[in-house]
Amino acid sequence: MQTIDWVQWLAFGILTLITVGGALAVVIDRNIFHSALWLLVSLFGVAGLFVLLNAPFLAAVQVLVYMGAIVILIIFAVMLTRRLMGITESVNSQWWIGALVSIVAFLVIALVLAQAGSGSAPLLARDPIATLSNRTVADFGAALVDPAQYALPFELASLLLTGAMIGAIVIAREDA
Amino acid sequence: MLQVNEWLFIGIFFAIAWALPATPILIAQILQPKRANRLKRETYECGIETVGDAWVQFKVQYYLYALIFVVFDIETVFLFPWAVAYNQLGFYAFFEMLLFVALLAVALVYAWRKGALEWT
Amino acid sequence: MAEFLTNQGISATLATFIATFLGVVAVASFGLGWFSVLGLWLERKFAARVQDRMGPNRVGPAGLLQVVPDLIKMITKEDITPQGADKVVYNIAPLMAVGAVILIWAVMPFSKQLIGADLNVGAIYFVSVASLGTLAILLAGWASNNKYALLGALRAVAALVSYEVPMILSILVPVMLAGTMSMQGLVEQQHIWYIFVVPISAFIFFTSNLAETGRSPFDLIEAESELVAGYNVEYTGMKFGMFQAAEFVHAFTACALMAVLFIGGWRGPGSDQANLGGTILGFAYFFGKTMVIYLIMMLIRNTVPRVRIDQMMAFNWKFLVPLSLINLLMVAFIQKLIVPQYDSVLTTISGGGVEGGLYDAIGANFVAELPRAVILLAANLLVLGVLGRVIQMFIQAERRRVGEIASTPNPLHPPQRIEVAVGD
């Protein structure tokens, strides 16, 4: 297993670099369209991390939904609200407040995850379905519709999607 | 760990999938003539000089299509594991999915009636 | 090909790495490589004969090597980058377009033993990778610094993204029937080919792939006579060639996927064996079926006129998506209604006698699934019949409406009688 280990560590390192570097570039790059593209890179890194976590279904879903749909949506939204072709700069004079808040948020999340990893956090009580390595997609599907497990969130998700679509149409068609 | 082996294949494949089209392009860079002049680099506008700034009247309809696609995409994400597990589940799974799809069909019918699916 | 390893005595990981690498190169170059030679020739000859002309017949025997001078022409063209174009994105877009198409070949089951990577999420993998090609078009249109390119790219992306919905919904049906997302599993579970069980899903998948790959009658993405050449108007030389190659190979890939999902992939008499003969037979079946679908695609391309963009979108959202949802629900319902009785068929076979012998000859799984398949087929045909009636009523209403408009005289241009002198 030693040989497989270093391959996984290498992949993890590369993917982390891609994810974090991409995320940093999203906020650092002045051209807003380039920021959307860096987001694409970062989300791809997240998909790779899902693969390493033995959740290939979530990796494929990440590529399909996030990279293939939501990034397109974001780019369309950028085009809708700004002049397209010029170098669109985003200037923020309060960046130091943002930096402070994000550092605090990072410390809080890191603390929670460290406690959860050691098993002493009461928040993460239930077995997360997607990351147990001996579960398959079929188990995931069965759990989704099982009334004792995730059936209610399943139906509520469709309600949420319906609401989102109707809301967006109401807003978008008003000014048509 | 056959899983890792398969995905290693995909990882290497990903690298090759970018190298394979890059090769002819790089070969072309070596073989092509390079006589650039200012006229060649102008942007194309049906043979006349470009008029005005290059911005486009962006219809909100494009955004609506992408949004409806996102909603249906997420719906299919929920449907995939259900479909894989369907053979082993009881009859109740069908009714749960019926409810799920019916709610989204309501959204589609709403979009249809409100004219959000028209091109213009 | 992942089993084709550990012949080297170097070291375990290096051997795995090298074998995987070679396998990758083989699979990728199959998808992109030799098919471009033969398939392009077939495409052009077929189109030529339909249009009552000869097609390429000078280079090589019967014009088979036509792609070679085409390739040389494209490679030696000057590469002109328009001013103000975003250099990085401009160069990445053609790479991404081709890369997205090649990545699909990683999960293509060529035969029972030959598959790049049999992911257990193969079906959703190839859908998500195909959506990267859509992104490439958007990047190309934006990076060209040309409003026509951008307009063309936006239209193309809106159309491509819309047609992914019925495609994914129609993939769900074979996944549901087979109970697995892995491509090899989908082929192995097709004891009865799914095109005979759920022809509506096959039709929806085929049509949405026609739109996704930009083939006629939906080729307003690539042959934009209204917007010059659409999103790739500012691309020259090999980069343009890469876009063309991506679109062409994508068509072939879509045919291969259709063959795998609905016509049983490498299944056929004698292809189940684990030896070399079985592998070659499976590969031959897979390739033959792909070519049949490709023939149908070429037929449609050369006979059907192009549709408008609003007709295309209306067709998708008002016809294909509701139809695919109804189809999904119907198949789900019937699948739970009639469960294939594998056990009783097996006991009949083991009991011997005429019936047992007959079942054994045809195949136990085939016989067990037959009643459900027949009911599903009947339900599909019923839905098609109802659909035909609905479309007929719709056409009659449209004719009546257009007839009213056409018969009311236009106050601005009253019809004039034109006197023509004959003779003299």
CA distance readout (Å), C277 to A20, C256, C335: 50, 21, 36
* Partners of residue C342 on adjacent β-strands: none
Q: Is residue C408 part of a domain?
A: no
From C265, C300, C334, give the residue that closes a domain: C334
Chains that touch A (3 or more CB pairs under 8 A): B, C
| Residue C361, pLDDT score | 63
Residues A52-91 have pLDDT tens digits of: 887 888 889 999 999 989 999 998 888 777 654 455 555 6
In chain C, % of residues over pLDDT 70 = 80
Overall domain count for chain C = 3
From chain C, the residues in CB contact with B35 under 8 A are 78
Q: Is residue C405 part of a domain?
A: no
From C284, C305, C334, give the residue that closes a domain: C334
Mean pLDDT over B86-101 rounds to 86
Q: Which residue has the higher pLDDT, C5 or A21?
A: A21
Least confident of A28-32, A115-119, B63-67: A115-119
Over 80: is that where the pLDDT of B40 sits? no
**Does residue C201 sit in the same domain as residue C226?**
yes
Question: What is the band of C379 on the pLDDT scale with cuts at 50, 70, 90?
Answer: confident
* Partners of residue C115 on adjacent β-strands: C109
**Does residue C111 sit in the same domain as residue C187?**
yes
Over 70: is that where the pLDDT of C91 sits? yes
**Does residue C71 sit in the same domain as residue C170?**
no
Alpha-carbon distance of C268 to C289, in angstroms, equals: 11
User: What is the residue-averaged pLDDT of chain A?
Assistant: 79
CB C302 within 8 A of CB C150: no
Over 50: is that where the pLDDT of A127 sits? no
**Does residue C47 sit in the same domain as residue C185?**
no
Least confident of C106-110, C147-151, C212-216, C340-344: C340-344
Mean pLDDT over B51-70 rounds to 76
Q: Which of B29, B40, B44 is the best mutation test for C, with the most CBs of C within 10 A?
A: B44
**Does residue C282 sit in the same domain as residue C353?**
no
CATH architecture of B2-113: Up-down Bundle (1.20)
Find the CB nearest B104 among A80, A144, A162. A162
In chain A, % of residues over pLDDT 90 = 28
Alpha-carbon distance of B120 to A2, in angstroms, equals: 61
From C26, C46, C76, give the residue that closes a domain: C76
What domain range is C60 assigned to?
1-76
* Amino acid, single-letter form, for residue B74: I
Over 60: is that where the pLDDT of C1 sits? no
Interface contact flag, A64 C132, Cβ < 8 Å: no
**Does residue C379 sit in the same domain as residue C355?**
yes
**Does residue C301 sit in the same domain as residue C358?**
no
| Residue C11, pLDDT score | 43
Q: Is residue C400 part of a domain?
A: no
Gap between the terminal Cα atoms of chain B: 53
Chain mean position to CA B117: 18
Residues C225-238 have pLDDT tens digits of: 555 657 777 777 78
Q: Which residue has the tokens 């047609």?
A: C163
CB B66 within 8 A of CB C134: no
3-state secondary structure chain B: CHHHHHHHHHHHHHHHHHHHHHHHHHHHHHHCCCCCCCCCCCCCCCCCCCCCCCCCCCCHHHHHHHHHHHHHHHHHHHHHHHHHHHHHCCCHHHHHHHHHHHHHHHHHHHHHHCCCCCCC
**Does residue C272 sit in the same domain as residue C295?**
yes
Q: Is residue C406 part of a domain?
A: no
* Partners of residue A89 on adjacent β-strands: A31
Find the CB nearest A165 among B7, B93, B107. B107
Q: Which residue has the higher pLDDT, C208 or A80?
A: C208
Distance from CA of B60 to the nearest CA of C (A): 11
Boundaries of every domain in chain B: 2-113
Q: Is residue C123 part of a domain?
A: yes
Beta strand segments in C12-94, E: none
Global pTM reads 0.86
3-state secondary structure chain A: CHHHHHHHHHHHHHHHHHHHHHHHHHHHCCEHHHHHHHHHHHHHHHHHHHHHCCCHHHHHHHHHHHHHHHHHHHHHHHHHHCCCCCCCECCCCCHHHHHHHHHHHHHHHHHHHHHHHCCCCCCCCCCCHHHCCCCCHHHHHHHHHCCCCCHHHHHHHHHHHHHHHHHHHHHHHHCC
DSSP 3-state of C198: coil
Interface contact flag, B73 C164, Cβ < 8 Å: yes
Question: What is the band of B48 on the pLDDT scale with cuts at 50, 70, 90?
Answer: low
**Does residue C120 sit in the same domain as residue C191?**
yes
Residues C134-173 have pLDDT tens digits of: 999 888 888 887 777 788 888 888 889 999 999 999 999 9
**Does residue C85 sit in the same domain as residue C66?**
no
Over 90: is that where the pLDDT of C33 sits? no
Mean pLDDT over B3-29 rounds to 78
ipTM: 0.87
User: What is the residue-averaged pLDDT of chain C?
Assistant: 80
